[in-house]
Structure 1
Amino acid sequence: MPTVMLVAGTRPNFMKIKPVLDALVRRSARVELVHAGQHYDHAMSDVFFDDLGLRPPDWHLGSGSGSVAEQTARIMSGFEPVLADVSPDAVVVVGDVTATLACALVTAHAGPVLAHVEAGLRSRDWTMPEEVNRVVVDRLSDLLFAPSSDAVDNLRQEGYHPHQIHLTGNVMVDTLLANLARARESDVLARHGLTAGEFGLVTLHRPANVDDPATLGALMAAMGEVASMLPLVMTVHPRTAQRLASSGTPAGLRLLPPAGYLDFLGLQAAARMVLTDSGGVQEETTVLGVPCLTLRENTERPITIEQGTNVLVGRDPQRIVTVAKEVMHAPPPRRCPSLWDGRAADRIADVLLEHLRTGNRPRPTELTVTAPTRAARRRV
């Protein structure tokens, strides 16, 4: 059986990589797990390995913090000798973080098959580092595993070859469904004195929301108004905690430390609504049937808006408060995209291993000019 290297660097990556690892192991593939170390403290890393039952990584690059350029350089320098030592048949990267881009670049130069899980998502906001990362990684990849039909449409419109694109469903949902019963059994509500359905959950971490004092202040003012109608709790990302230390928080908004996967899933499942700037939370609330208000001007998960489970409210305080009032008096949404069924990782593993078995790569003459695969460029 082939050797497949899986790369994860941040807490959302751990949730995405776990079901893929399990599916490959069930098919007797040799799997090497690389932790790039982009998230490295206990609250943002170790607790997720514990909660998910994710085995310790075979390799830890220890990239640490720093600017995007510094992190990218450290991860690339650390990953290159690991890739040379293992010489895998394929490398699987997930999502859109710095570690995903860095390891994809090294793989593209080295030659193994490169597969991107969560391909095709687009916000079309080039001020977001994640948008740059996901577009570049898709361009480098041989196999594109799309979580939803809109992602497939994006890839087709950009000219990728049909043989590259595979609609597999959402691996985040695999992990959610596998752990939801355990999350509901968590004592997180009792620990924080919360009652299911009687609080709202807030998460904020994107630089556009938390780095500018005026923007963060306006969002906190809106949270204060919402909290006068529904008590709010906010799990505080380290980036946001630094900013709030100087600006303060409104009455009715209670700050909680970063939560592990099971605790955070338990909070989401029990919330009356969630206000967030996280892409993954938009997906998880869709599956859970919990209304979501996205505090951004755009989203790479428009499928959640189409399902009616998510409202893109932007950063205008008045709109946030108005929509929150409407959501509190409306029945919870109960819709979910096709193939968000807990079997995405099985589909990914089947396609990847069949691709490695047959060497099924499109010929250069079959490719469009706009987006030739890396494999074709090597063969030209």
Structure 2
Amino acid sequence: MTNKTPVRVTCIVGARPNFMKMAPILAAFEVHGDFDARLIHTGQHYDVEMNAVFFQQLGLPEPDLNLGVGSGTQTTQTAQVMIGLENEFLANSPDLVLVVGDVNSTVAAALVAAKMRIPVAHVEAGLRSFDRDMPEEINRLVTDRISDLLLTTERAAGEQLEREGISSEAIHFVGNVMIDSLLSNLKQAVPIAETLSKRGFDQDIVHSISTEYALVTLHRPTNVDNSSQLSGLLDVLSDFAKRMPIVFTLHPRTRARIDAASLNDKINGPGFHVVPPLDYFAMLGATKGASLVVTDSGGLQEETTALGIPCLTVRENTERPITIKDGTNTLVGASPDLLAQALGSVSKDKTKHSRTPELWDGHAAQRIATVIYSYIKSLS
């Protein structure tokens, strides 16, 4: 720390995707030297054991405060975070509140800070799916409207913000901190064979999967809450598993819906291998080694593009268009029939041309630190 007055930044995380984004930013603050950063975990993701593993692997410090809000409806969760953060901001008077992503904790923190006239910086600003049935889209829209600094991962996001009436002076294209984490941790990635062996899989299965496999994640309500939709997607995947082994990382929400609809037989067929949610290093290794990824996750669309892995996104829209324009992502829609067609095409030709998006270079966090420091000092 220099002899300058440090910039007091309160950093908010609430769910595991936030952890990957916040870790490099906190590290950049430390290197910069003129920040006094406070980390608040809202507890929106409340799996204590898995959270602890992510913190440890990413080098995140212990949170200064964990609100422990746990599960609940969208409104209940947001309200509980807001109440807890109001007390936190009153007690510690930050110069700026830093939020990342689009979860309930993101919008809750931004709302409280804005009402208390504390500047807000939003990392991943300007991303739009244009689908207001997605809670994340509402979170993105509200957070961006009330933020003072809008830090974008791609130029199109800045253009979208300007169309929405945001001043260009508030918008800063800094790159993608998710990729900062990915690039800095690639050497720590755990090969899929090691992950499966630790979970007791037969060695013949481990060997077959090590040569070629598709990684699958599904968790969004549009895909898993309707039993007919979920059943259709699982039928398609089960059929594909006869041609290429599938490793299916099963989200708790999806597991509950499969159990409730008695669909377990659809994930127990030949070539279909189910594992629980993986820690960061194991998931990074599973993604890095895959021949193909099938997902409805936003983060995996970005990570597969950075790694050059073909990705099929089972959604009608994406808030990350650069992963399609420049990357390896293909938006296939949510229809099981369309997924079947896409799987047929990808299995024949896995060579979709891609390039690394601009400023996805592992240095986004340093640029964020510079922007925030300059902004706060300009207010003095």
TM-score by length of 2: 0.92
Partners in 2 of 1:260 and 1:43 — Cα distance? Answer: 10
Partners in 2 of 1:91 and 1:35 — Cα distance? Answer: 13
Match of 1:230 in 2: 244
Match of 1:305 in 2: 324
Partners in 2 of 1:280 and 1:104 — Cα distance? Answer: 21
Runs of 4+ in 1 over 6 A off after TM superposition: none
Partners in 2 of 1:340 and 1:222 — Cα distance? Answer: 33
Q: Helix, strand or coil: the match of 2:97? A: strand
Deviation track 1:253-302 (CA, whole Å, cap 9, x = no partner) reads: 22101100000010000011000000000000000110000000100011
Partners in 1 of 2:197 and 2:47 — Cα distance? Answer: 26
Match of 1:349 in 2: 369
Unpaired segments of 5 or more residues in structure 1?
361-380
Match of 2:313 in 1: 294
Q: CA deviation at 1:331?
A: 3.9
- Alignment match of 1:150 (pick from 116, 140, 156): 156
The Cα RMSD (Å) is: 1.5
Q: CA deviation at 1:53?
A: 1.5
Matches within 5 A, 1:173-212: 173-184=179-190, 187-188=194-195, 190-191=197-198, 192=201, 193=206, 195-212=209-226
Matches within 5 A, 1:1-380: 1-28=6-33, 29-42=35-48, 44-184=50-190, 187-188=194-195, 190-191=197-198, 192=201, 193=206, 195-245=209-259, 246-248=262-264, 249-250=266-267, 251=269, 252-333=271-352, 334-359=354-379
Partners in 2 of 1:44 and 1:324 — Cα distance? Answer: 32
Counterpart amino acid of residue 341 in structure 2: T
Match of 1:372 in 2: none
| CA shift in 2, pair 1:208/1:103, >3 Å | same
Percentage of pairs with the same residue: 47
Partners in 2 of 1:197 and 1:310 — Cα distance? Answer: 22
Q: Helix, strand or coil: the match of 1:321? A: helix
Counterpart amino acid of residue 241 in structure 1: R
Partners in 2 of 1:57 and 1:184 — Cα distance? Answer: 26
Q: Does the 8 Å CA contact 1:289/1:332 hold for their aligned counterparts?
A: no
TM-score by length of 1: 0.92
Q: Does the 8 Å CA contact 1:7/1:34 hold for their aligned counterparts?
A: yes
Q: Helix, strand or coil: the match of 1:163? A: helix
Counterpart amino acid of residue 338 in structure 1: E
Counterpart amino acid of residue 376 in structure 2: L
* Number of residue pairs aligned between Structure 1 and Structure 2: 360
Q: Does the 8 Å CA contact 1:184/1:269 hold for their aligned counterparts?
A: no
